[in-house]
Amino acid sequence: MASATLERPVATSKQDTPESANGARQQSGWKRPVGKLNGPRTQLEWHDGLIEQSSKLRAPDLRNHIASSVTDLVGWTPTVMLNKVTAGLPGRVAVKMECLNPFSSVKDRTALALIEDLERQGKLIPGGENQPLEMTSGNTGIGLAWVAAAKGYKLTCTMPSAYSDERKALLLALGTDLHLTDKLDGPAGMLARASELEEENPHLMMTRQFEAAANVRVHYQQTGPEIWSQSQGRVDFLVATAGTGGTITGAGTFLKEQKPGVEVVAVEPLEGAYWTTGCGGPHPVQGVSPGLDVPTLDRSLFDEVLTAPSAEAMQMCHRLAREEGMFVGPSSGLAIHGAIQLASRPENEGKLVVVIAPSFGERYLSSPPWAQFMEEARKLPTKLLTEEEKPKAMAVMQQFIDKTKPLPPLENIDVNAAAAVASNVADTSPLKSGE
């Protein structure tokens, strides 16, 4: 499917967003005034008018084939409706499960695009001396680490020490040369250390996730078209948080080209509400920018910015796990909290809100919102059998073994019936025709 042409002039005006006299954060967020922009357009040359669809826009039936590499599994993540947490709301919410990429993050797309872009430029060559380098809050680094491993590179990255132990362990397990920086130094500390490493070793090639056109382009060529296809063109809102901004910029641009009425809504934590107050700062939602304007983020696309306290984002993660069976990270909880705000409005009756869930919850077991359950798990009591109970327990076990039936021989399995099931997959989409 070819994309429409987009003229993208560069604006030089300052951000047009409200800020209270005392700089206090406002939970109400920000909505685009008629005819005005939320901040400057990006000057990054990622969109050159009519872009050919990427060869990496993989067919949705890849599950019926054997992939040649784990990199072929990136993309075409499922989109699923929320049910219990949205019961009774006027609008509907569908979650784009980016946490179901190979290494459980939307950044798998970004990482593969960044590495392949450097390969196209000849800066990285499998088996060559040059190796990738990046500063990361975790998920991009993990994506780059596994892509590098699959392609025969060794990643070097810098990361704040405050991020979860699971992220650090994954990076080390994938062979990464990991350099931690002080959490109080924020992005500046990561960048400074990465710059030092780049100067020390001329064979380290910075992937530059915050300024690389490939970061935005991959979501224009993949994530946006996937949402359009999976929603059958019925998407009315795209909701996402932003780290580098590549996802919301690329996917948002594509969807607005297909359907100009689509509204792009960003969500940020109240404690670091940079876009709505101009007063960004530290917050506990990992993976969400503490307040940066970077080339890969185009805030002129935003129709609205919503805010929510970080505690409510964490509570939403808990609700999703126990009511929907979704185990997601804190930025997903924040984004879905915002999507539910939109779906709650009477004027959005029957409208479809598609929200990005960037990462899987297992990556955050040692940090909010899941650390409390790790502590509970450590304190669970253990039942020990007494000497009097052991003979009875062994007898029960023997009865279980005696009753276990062997598997039927293969010749008794109806292979034709199994093949018929595989070739006749029913359409179970909740988006019925005419809706």
φ, ψ of residue 304 to 5 degrees: the values are -160, 150
**Cross-sheet strand order for the sheet of 204-206:** 177-181, 156-160, 131-135, 204-206
Of 289, 331, 332, 359, which residue is the catalytic one?
331
Angle between helices 330-343 and 310-319 (to 10 degrees): 90
Beta-carbon contacts of residue 58 (< 8 Å; ≥ 6 apart): 72, 74, 75, 76
Please tell me which residue in 96, 107, 168, 256 is annotated as part of the active site.
Answer: 107
Distance CA 227, CA 168 (A): 31
Structure token digits, residue 318: 């808990």
Task: Assess whether 332 carries a catalytic annotation.
Answer: no
Active site (annotated) includes residue 123: no
Positions marked active-site: 107, 331
